[in-house]
Every structure is written in C-alpha cells, then in structure tokens.
Amino acid sequence: MSKSENLWLDDDFGLAYDNEMMQKKMINTARNWGYDDGKADGAKAEKIEIAKNLLNIGTPKEDIIKVTGLSEDEINNLLEELKKEA
C-alpha cells in the first residue's frame, strides 16, 4: 500500500481532512449569503464604491439602484455616510 493510501486509514488525517472540507463549505456558504470573511470577496464592496462615485456626480438614486442592484435603503445609507464625510 502506498503512503497516500495509508493516509486515508489514519483517523487523525481523516478528521483533519473532514474539518478542512467543512470549513471550506462554511466559507463558501457565507460568501454566497453575502458575508465577507476578510478575504476580499469584494463584489458587494465594489458595488458600494460604484454607488458612492455615482452619488458624488449626481446620478439619480433610481439609476444607481438599477446599475448596482443595491436597495434604496442601502443607497440612502450611503447618502448619509457621504454627507457625514463632507
């Protein structure tokens, strides 16, 4: 039996492998639900940056919602945030 085949018979290796696979599945699920685990998933952050830029040049909220897919509440929150920064 080869060394790699013997690994599968090792309970510690199997447990570590299973734990790693579960962690990867959890991270992927979280990303699909829109959470950021600190590793620049970035799609949501990029939409927010685009929305901020569009707001700064006076683009109507309705157009920003169509372009970014962000909600009206999210756009309103960004407007408030931009007002505080100004």
Same domain, 35 and 70: no
Based on the domain organization, do 47 and 84 belong to the same domain? yes
| Domain co-membership, 36 together with 46 | no
Provide the residue count of the chain: 86
Report how far residue 82's alpha carbon sits from residue 23's, in angstroms, rounded to the nearest whole number. 37
Q: What is the pLDDT of residue 40?
A: 47
Q: State whether 57 and 27 are in the same domain.
A: no
Q: Tell me: do 36 and 72 sit in the same domain.
A: no
> Looking at the structure, do residues 48 and 33 belong to the same domain, yes or no?
no
One domain, residues 25 and 64 = no
Give residue 71's domain range. Answer: 42-86
Mean pLDDT by 10 residues, the chain (86 residues): 68 78 77 59 82 92 92 93 86
Same domain, 5 and 16: yes
Note whether 35 and 50 are same-domain residues. no
pLDDT at 8: 66
Output the pLDDT for position 72. 95
DSSP classification of residue 2? -
Same-domain pairing of 53 and 71? yes
Enumerate residues 6+ apart whose C-beta is below 8 A from 78.
48, 51, 52, 55, 70
53 and 28 in one domain? no
Residue 19: the pLDDT is 77
pTM of the model: 0.52
